[in-house]
Amino acid sequence: FQRLDYAAEIAYYYGFMPVKSPTIEREDVVRSKKATENETHEKNYGNSEGGELFIHPEEKAALLRECEGKKMLNQSQTTMLYYEGAVSRDDHKKAGKGHYKELHLDILGTTKSVAEAELIKTTIEILRQKGFEDLYVDINSIGDKDSLANFTREVQQFYRKHGNELQ
């Protein structure tokens, strides 16, 4: 296992509090399936090495359950947590290497976009301290459902007005 002490120190510096890695129980799997009925169960995030990293919704459900049980969630305050966990990677399994350590950062109790900004900033700083240079974040988003509907309407209006010019 790789040591993540430097990453944990940076996460703590940015306000993330350490918690024990959640243990996934049957109720977490059931809860996550209900929450993701209309989505794929596992999200695949490729990496530059060609391997595959899967984010499992049951991990989030287990974290929420444990936080609720320990009264860590407060309606009036955002909760910023980190934990270390072993994560399977498809390319490592094939090579017989099994698992590696990963630091999980979670911000609970807010829907504000500043939470994503905090996650991005903390992650970039962890990578910088590890020696990565010239890092950048490329975000491609048109927003929520209302923004998407407005965007779609505006594009349709543009093509109605200028459709003949585009041929």
Q: What is the pLDDT of residues 1-18, one digit of tens each?
A: 355 688 999 999 999 999
Q: Is the pLDDT of residue 47 over 50?
A: no
With a pLDDT cut of 70, the percent of the chain lying above it is 74
Give the amino acid at 79.
T
pTM of the predicted model as reported, rounded to 2 decimal places: 0.61
The two three-digit tokens of residue 22, written as one number: 């959640």
Tell me if 104 sits within 8 A of 122, measured CB to CB.
no
| Beta strands across the sheet bearing 79-88 | 17-18, 79-88, 99-108
pLDDT at 140: 72
Q: Is the pLDDT of residue 38 over 60?
A: no
Q: Is the pLDDT of residue 67 over 80?
A: yes
CB neighbours of residue 15 within 10 Å:
12
Alpha-carbon span 85 to 63, nearest angstrom:
12
